[in-house]
């Protein structure tokens, strides 16, 4: 979910207060050595950033206040782990902003050279579109790792499908909490009136994440950081 209007100061600084420590922790604990030593994983990293930004362009405006789009952060967290998934999401938001500059210029009859970044929405978008789904995916992975029922389907469907479905509900609830605490009444009213959209997102979000997670784990298990053959295939 992305903001279409600049946030008020309370919402902006609250989002910065939440986002900055998480972003710094992700940079601190990201496996940079492993990433730099593995060229296929580098290609997957940068490809994911570009693919996410393009996918997030497929957004639906809600009352010209918010934009709803697919997330796919659950499968990104499954493949790359928490820290790299957080950084991929942050980078995708910046690339999305770059993509949108010529679109704004065309819609407003501007010259592309004078179109400007609207960076004030990035902390809010980061909190809702990246921190919430990646954090939830990591919690689900932690729970699944501790289940006694050892089967690959608990990974594919427990995390990729059902985990991604629930991430949409958590996103809506987090948006309600964030907008309520920051007195962002316009955004809060929009989410309250259109909360059913987060419910409608659950099945397609779960299906796409579950499908990609299954394909990646079956065809490229070495690329999926959070998949463990010794656990899920253990007799």
- The secondary structure of 165-224 as a DSSP string is HHHHHHHHHHHHHHHHHTT-HHHHHHHHHTTHHHHHTHHHHHHHHHHHHHHHHHH-GGG-
Q: Tens digit of pLDDT for each residue in 61-106?
A: 888 888 888 899 999 999 999 999 999 999 999 998 888 765 555 5
Q: Note the pTM of the prediction, 2 decimals.
A: 0.89
Can you tell me the distance from the alpha carbon of 99 to that of 89, in angstroms, rounded to the nearest whole number? 15
Can you tell me the distance from the alpha carbon of 186 to that of 194, in angstroms, rounded to the nearest whole number? 12
37 burial class (0-12, 13-18, 19+ CB within 10 angstroms)? exposed
In the chain, domain spans: 2-232
DSSP β-ladder status, 2-3 and 60-62: unpaired
Q: Which residue reads 């999305």 in tokens? A: 96
Domain topology for 2-232 = Arp2/3 complex 21 kDa subunit ARPC3 (1.10.1760)
Can you tell me the distance from the alpha carbon of 132 to that of 71, in angstroms, rounded to the nearest whole number? 11
Residue 112 pLDDT level (bands cut at 50, 70, 90): very low
Q: Tens digit of pLDDT for each residue in 11-61?
A: 999 999 999 999 999 999 999 998 888 888 899 999 999 999 999 988 888
> Measured between alpha carbons, how far apart are the two ends of the chain, in Å?
42
Can you tell me the distance from the alpha carbon of 137 to that of 126, in angstroms, rounded to the nearest whole number? 15
């Amino acid at each position: 979910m992305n903001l279409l209007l600049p946030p008020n100061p309370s919402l902006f600084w609250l989002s910065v207060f939440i986002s900055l420590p998480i972003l710094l922790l992700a940079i601190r604990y990201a496996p940079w050595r492993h990433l730099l030593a593995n060229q296929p994983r580098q290609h997957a990293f940068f490809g994911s950033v570009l693919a996410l930004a393009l996918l997030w362009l497929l957004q639906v405006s809600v009352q010209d206040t918010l934009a709803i789009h697919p997330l796919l952060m659950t499968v990104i967290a499954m493949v790359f782990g928490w820290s790299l998934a957080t950084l991929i999401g942050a980078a995708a938001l910046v690339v999305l902003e770059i993509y949108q500059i010529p679109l704004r210029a065309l819609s407003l009859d501007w010259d592309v050279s004078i179109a400007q970044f609207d960076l004030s929405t990035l902390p809010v978008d980061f909190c809702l579109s990246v921190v919430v789904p990646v954090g939830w995916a990591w919690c689900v992975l932690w729970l699944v790792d501790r289940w006694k029922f050892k089967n690959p389907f608990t990974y594919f469907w427990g995390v990729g499908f059902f985990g991604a479905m629930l991430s949409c509900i958590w996103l809506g609830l987090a948006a309600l909490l964030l907008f309520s605490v920051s007195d962002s009444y316009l955004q809060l009213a929009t989410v309250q009136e259109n909360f059913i959209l987060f419910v409608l997102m659950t099945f397609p979000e779960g299906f796409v994440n579950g499908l990609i997670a299954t394909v990646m784990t079956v065809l490229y298990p070495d690329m999926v950081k959070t998949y463990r053959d010794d656990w899920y295939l253990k007799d």
